[in-house]
């Protein structure tokens, strides 16, 4: 969790500067929020207030989009076998479901979806699956949210008669694959004006381009698709854009805005079941609801079972979608239970473990799919590079998180002999080793800490200091003019100073905290933090004057709206 030195309070705008930049009509708080985000150009300001569909770019600006569209339309005309290969996360699964919805809408039947198993297959294309596709006489393979680094597998597919169309948003590693077409705005020579889209959004762009050309060419199945139908697919694009943590600026901001509207109107029974189980009001969804309530349920499938469960919940209609969504709820509950159980085991082990600069901990029985969650929780609390492992077959596999200014990727590079394979970036990664090397991993990594690269961590920006009396509907309305919030447009953080009226832990494990603050009208303003035992350790009591960081939240209960605070830190 952040400490006091992690925060940065920007310069407050004086009246003269504010009126010069934003005019006298703009509310001072909104002007300060724009200023903090370096938004001073009138065009950029207008785009925040006006969600204009004209800001959605032409899909044919993508390099290779023409080639991809023509090849898929030819496949449709010739009834060729098409396979959609998507990643197993909250970007790839909705992206695969989106293309499923597209092909179903045009009445095309000779296609199938494939999602690799997180534990058995790993990320992206794998050779056993590719050999199966060749044997099954797949003629066109479309990737979603993967493929840009799979040069060897794509070479094999292309040489064996499978035309591969890559749709991805990750960076290539060296040369782009020699696929039939590569749709990725991060490849050299792509003129697309926004390179921040997620994988599902790029799959949506492909669908939009196919609809345009398919109608123009009179391809069977396209003429009956009503104009604008592609907008109904934005429910899935919004989920992926938020959950994949791409910047919520530019085109992504528009996609999430319109996607949230479509989530409220969505006809997908699986989504309605997810909303019900998560106690979400589809008409009042916030980006936090998508990120912390919908995303974990989708991810639970690949973490603990089969990712196709999540796919069916999003893609199918009727009873199968509802049953799959109900299974997601069970898996997510199981994931939460297992995580809590393992964390109890972890804290017990660490109490008796020798202190050192690196934590390595594991158990052959821990599920591989939740090791990243475990590593993150340990690293957050202990502020050390943390490596968590489990056994998969004859191999040891694991996840790592930094928790400090030490790059875990650099650390693994300096200890190459310890690993059979590794990957990732400065803040997180994955690794593979064997049963012998894992016993020496902590010692070797600890020795390499002085050589590892350091991460320059950005400070957390506070937007302004507010009085408790400003926690009301009017302030919330002003703040949420900047919605949707996410990466590069964070939810505004405020500092408050006030006397504590009450404090109580709550929840089954008593690991959540609620503080109450009385405003000048005698109303109690609640400030809530979840899974923050560290705040309980501060031993606050009623009457204490506290300075804390929080965000404004709207709670909807029985159609009544309440403004409260989400507690981020006590300074």
* pLDDT tens string 439-482: 999 999 999 999 999 987 777 889 999 999 999 999 999 998 88
What is the DSSP code (8-state) at residue 453? P
Between these two residues, 172 and 230, which has the higher pLDDT value? 230
Q: Name the domain count of the chain.
A: 3
Residues 473 and 558 in one domain: yes
pLDDT of residue 49: 82
Spatial separation of the C-alpha atoms in residues 85 and 92, rounded to whole Å: 9
Asked, for residue 406, whether it belongs to a domain, the answer is yes
pLDDT of residue 511: 81
pLDDT of residue 533: 76
Residue 217, pLDDT above cutoff 70: yes
Residues 73 and 188 in one domain: yes
Containing domain of residue 114, as a range? 59-225
Residues 445 and 477 in one domain: no
pLDDT of residue 5: 55
pLDDT in tens, 179-214: 999 999 999 999 999 999 999 999 999 999 999 999
User: 287 pLDDT band (50/70/90 cuts)?
Assistant: very high
pLDDT in tens, 67-103: 999 999 999 999 999 999 999 999 999 999 999 999 9
Between these two residues, 558 and 120, which has the higher pLDDT value? 120
Query: What average pLDDT does the structure give for the chain?
Result: 92
User: 278 pLDDT band (50/70/90 cuts)?
Assistant: very high
Residues 447 and 469 in one domain: no
Last residue of a domain, one of 430, 451, 472: 451
Beta strand pairing call for 395-401 and 386-392:
antiparallel
pLDDT of residue 239: 97
Spatial separation of the C-alpha atoms in residues 328 and 227, rounded to whole Å: 33
pTM of the prediction? 0.90
Asked, for residue 262, whether it belongs to a domain, the answer is no
Q: Which CATH number covers residue 466?
A: 2.40.50.460
Mean pLDDT (whole number) for 276-290? 92
Spatial separation of the C-alpha atoms in residues 318 and 311, rounded to whole Å: 14
For 377, phi then psi, to 5°, come to -65, -40
Residues 193 and 71 in one domain: yes
Residues 377 and 509 in one domain: no
Asked, for residue 391, whether it belongs to a domain, the answer is yes
Residues 526 and 486 in one domain: yes
Residues 466 and 548 in one domain: yes
Beta strand pairing call for 428-433 and 395-401:
antiparallel
Q: Which CATH number covers residue 377?
A: 3.10.310.30
Residue 55 neighbours by CB under 8 Å, 6+ apart = 47, 250, 251, 254
Asked, for residue 329, whether it belongs to a domain, the answer is no
Mean pLDDT (whole number) for 360-389? 93
Helix segments in 385-466, DSSP class H: 408-413, 441-448
Asked, for residue 242, whether it belongs to a domain, the answer is no
Q: Which CATH number covers residue 205?
A: 3.90.1640.30
Asked, for residue 433, whether it belongs to a domain, the answer is yes
Cβ pair 213, 269 in contact under 8 A: no
pLDDT of residue 48: 82
User: 389 pLDDT band (50/70/90 cuts)?
Assistant: very high
Find where tokens 């199966």 sit: 132
Residues 484 and 547 in one domain: yes
How many CB atoms sit inside 10 A of residue 80's CB?
17
Spatial separation of the C-alpha atoms in residues 375 and 145, rounded to whole Å: 24
Mean pLDDT (whole number) for 381-408? 92
Asked, for residue 280, whether it belongs to a domain, the answer is no
pLDDT of residue 1: 47
Residues 490 and 437 in one domain: no
Residue 316, pLDDT above cutoff 60: yes
Give the best-scoring range by mean pLDDT among 36-45, 116-125, 234-243, 508-517.
234-243
pLDDT in tens, 319-357: 999 999 999 999 999 999 999 999 999 999 898 777 789
Residue 555, pLDDT above cutoff 90: no
User: 558 pLDDT band (50/70/90 cuts)?
Assistant: low
Last residue of a domain, one of 434, 451, 468: 451
Asked, for residue 66, whether it belongs to a domain, the answer is yes
Tokens of 258: 């319109």
Last residue of a domain, one of 451, 471, 505: 451
Mean pLDDT (whole number) for 347-373? 90
- 226 vs 4, 204, 211, 231, 532, CA distance in Å? 55, 16, 10, 11, 50
Residues 446 and 478 in one domain: no
pLDDT of residue 229: 97
Residues 357 and 492 in one domain: no
Spatial separation of the C-alpha atoms in residues 235 and 463, rounded to whole Å: 30
């Amino acid at each position: 969790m952040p400490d006091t030195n992690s925060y940065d309070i920007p310069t407050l705008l004086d009246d003269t500067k504010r009126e010069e930049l934003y005019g006298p009509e703009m509310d001072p708080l909104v002007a300060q929020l724009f200023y903090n985000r370096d938004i001073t150009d009138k065009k950029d300001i207008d785009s925040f207030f006006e969600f204009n569909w004209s800001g959605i770019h032409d899909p044919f600006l993508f390099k290779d989009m023409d080639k991809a569209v023509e090849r898929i339309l030819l496949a449709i005309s010739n009834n060729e076998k098409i396979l959609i290969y998507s990643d197993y996360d909250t970007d790839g699964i909705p992206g695969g479901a989106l293309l499923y919805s597209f092909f179903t809408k045009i009445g095309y039947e000779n296609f199938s979806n494939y999602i690799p198993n997180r534990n058995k297959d790993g990320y992206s294309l794998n050779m056993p699956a590719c050999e199966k596709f060749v044997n099954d006489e797949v003629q066109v393979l479309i990737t979603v949210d993967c493929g840009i680094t799979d040069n060897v597998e794509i070479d094999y597919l292309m040489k064996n008669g499978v035309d591969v169309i890559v749709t991805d948003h990750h960076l290539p590693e060296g040369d782009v694959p020699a696929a039939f077409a590569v749709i990725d705005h991060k490849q050299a020579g792509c003129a697309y004006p926004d390179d921040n889209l997620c994988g599902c959004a790029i799959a949506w762009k492909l669908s939009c381009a196919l609809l345009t050309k398919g109608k123009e060419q009179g391809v069977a199945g396209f003429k009956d698709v009503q104009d604008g139908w592609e907008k109904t697919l934005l429910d899935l694009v919004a989920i992926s854009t938020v959950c994949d943590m791409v910047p919520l600026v530019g085109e992504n901001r528009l996609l999430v805005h319109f996607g949230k509207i479509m989530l409220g109107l969505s006809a997908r029974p699986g989504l309605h079941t997810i909303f019900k189980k998560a106690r979400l009001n589809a008409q009042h969804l916030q980006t936090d609801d998508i990120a912390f309530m919908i995303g974990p349920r989708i991810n639970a499938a690949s973490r603990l079972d089969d990712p196709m469960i999540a796919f069916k919940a999003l893609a199918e209609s009727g009873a199968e979608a509802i049953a799959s969504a109900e299974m997601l709820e069970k898996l997510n509950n199981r994931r939460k239970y297992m995580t809590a159980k393992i964390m109890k085991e972890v804290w017990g082990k660490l109490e008796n473990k020798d202190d050192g600069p690196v934590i390595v901990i594991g158990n052959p029985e821990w599920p591989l799919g939740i090791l990243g969650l475990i590593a993150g929780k340990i690293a957050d609390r202990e502020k050390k590079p943390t490596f968590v492992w489990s056994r998969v077959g004859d191999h040891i596999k694991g996840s790592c998180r930094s928790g400090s200014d030490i790059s875990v990727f650099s650390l693994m590079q300096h200890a190459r002999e310890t690993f059979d394979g590794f990957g990732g970036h400065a803040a997180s990664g994955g690794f593979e080793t064997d049963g012998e090397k894992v016993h020496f991993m902590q010692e070797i990594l600890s020795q390499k800490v002085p050589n590892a690269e350091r991460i320059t961590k950005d400070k957390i920006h506070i937007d302004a200091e507010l009085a408790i009396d400003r926690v009301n509907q009017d302030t919330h309305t002003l703040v949420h003019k900047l919605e949707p919030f996410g990466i590069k447009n964070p939810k505004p953080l405020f500092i408050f100073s006030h006397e504590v009226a009450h404090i109580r832990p709550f929840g089954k494990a008593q690991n959540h905290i609620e503080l109450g603050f009385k405003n000048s009208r005698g109303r109690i303003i609640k400030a809530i933090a979840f899974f923050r035992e560290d705040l309980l350790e501060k031993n606050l009591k009623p009457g204490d004057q506290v300075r804390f960081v929080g965000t404004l939240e709207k709670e909807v209960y029985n159609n009544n709206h309440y403004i409260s605070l989400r507690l981020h830190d006590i300074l």
